[in-house]
Amino acid sequence: MARLRLDHVSKRYGDFHAVRDVTLDVADGEFVVLLGPSGCGKTTTLRMIAGFITPTAGGVHLADREVTGLPPWKRNAGMVFQSYALFPHLSVAQNVAFGLEMRRLAKADITTRVAEALKLVRLDHLAGRLPRQLSGGQQQRVALARALAIRPDVLLLDEPLSNLDAKLRQEVRVEIRELQRQLGLTTVMVTHDQEEALTMADRLVVMNEGSVRQIGGQRDLYERPADRFVAGFVGRGMFLTGRVEAPGRFRTEGGLALACDGGASGPAVLALRPERLEIGPAPLSGLDNSLPGTVEFISYLGAASDVHVRLSPSDRVIVQVANRGGDAAPEIGATVHVGWPATAGRLFAPGGDPPSL
């Protein structure tokens, strides 16, 4: 049984669709991540679940109850906002108590629950401080405690880690995930950071321009992206434009003849991933494609290098070369050969993105 259900939910501002016909079921205890570029409707979706925004169409169901028109304090969703939104004049403990007071719990219960929530996020020793007397990471944990204190049916996290430095972000990621597992919390988190999404989610929802483009596990999205947008947003994608001349035969606009995996004749885009390409000083045998090119640029990234290779005046690819010690990566200006099996490429309709209204 779904703990949270969005049923054809839309939000319009005038004739602008901030969120368009989103349908999503989140199972009990599941950790779902909404992933998409800035402005795609992630926060709007989360706020409709929490009750801060009323949908223009569709329904929100929480723990088997329709809550679409109910205000936030009459539904049991705990939200951590993009900016934390702590009350600056209230202490840590008062901030955490806020949602409980809104729900008119007895004073003794509030005290117990505040202590319990602060203990969960390991801030019990700072209950009397004001937000400005806390570090960014501690403020983030107060916001989390405030959401947990109401014992929510669903925990909503809006880019909860965006104000933290890279190292702290990695630690807090693990902390949130462990706490979520330990409490069995049904969680929806928003991020535009694909690495964060891939490491934390049970399931991902990729959004663009207000619409859901694909829902699935990490492997589904990466190996079987539904469209060009998803292919470019989850993992890294390179796109060669051209046409399928016959099933299995692709010709780029730059004139390269390539082997592809099936495909219907007509204009198309061939998507490749840098880590699926091979590179060598001589033609690569045993691969469906092997093409000569010139190295134009190299980015050294530590664990790997990105080698940018010009294959034709209008076709350039990036090959990711793992760092195995020694000098495996070629030099700028070198002639190299780049190869890949036909099955490493995916074909999409040209343009890929639906027209925006």
Reading the block at residue 149, the tokens are: 């204190």
Residue 192 in contact with ligand ATP, rule: CB under 6 A: yes
- Does 160 engage in binding with ligand ATP (CB under 6 A)? no
Q: How far, in Å, CA of 148 to CA of 165, rounded?
A: 23
Size of the site for ligand ATP (CB under 6 A): 12
Q: Judged by CB under 6 A, which of 43, 140, 289, 320 binds ligand ATP? A: 43
Site string for ligand ATP, 44-83 (x = CB under 6 A): x---------------------------------------
Kindly tell me which of 13 and 300 has the beta carbon lying closer to ligand ATP: 13
Tell me the closest approach of the beta carbon of residue 251 to ligand ATP, in angstroms.
Answer: 38
State the residues that interact with Mg ion by CB under 5 A. 43
Kindly report the backbone phi and psi dihedral angles of residue 139, in degrees, each rounded to the nearest multiple of 5, phi listed first.
Answer: -60, -40
**Could you tell me where the DSSP H helices lie in 121-201?**
136-149, 166-183, 194-200
Sign of CA dihedral 241, 244, 250, 255: negative
Q: Which does 192 bind (CB under 5 to 8 A by kind): Mg ion, ligand ATP, none?
A: ligand ATP
- The 3-state DSSP class for residue 20 equals strand
Residue (147 or 318) nearer to ligand ATP, CB: 147
38 binds, among Mg ion, ligand ATP, none (CB under 5 to 8 A by kind): ligand ATP
Query: Which residue has tokens 């009750």?
Result: 51
**Cβ(4)–Cβ(61) under 8 Å?**
yes
3-state secondary structure 205-256: EEEECCEEEEEECHHHHHHCCCCHHHHHHCCCCEEEEEEEEECCEEEECCCC
Question: Could you give the string, one character per residue 6-25, with x where binding to ligand ATP holds by CB under 6 A and - elsewhere?
Answer: -------x--x-x-------
Binding stretches for ligand ATP (CB under 6 A): 13, 16, 18, 36, 38-44, 192
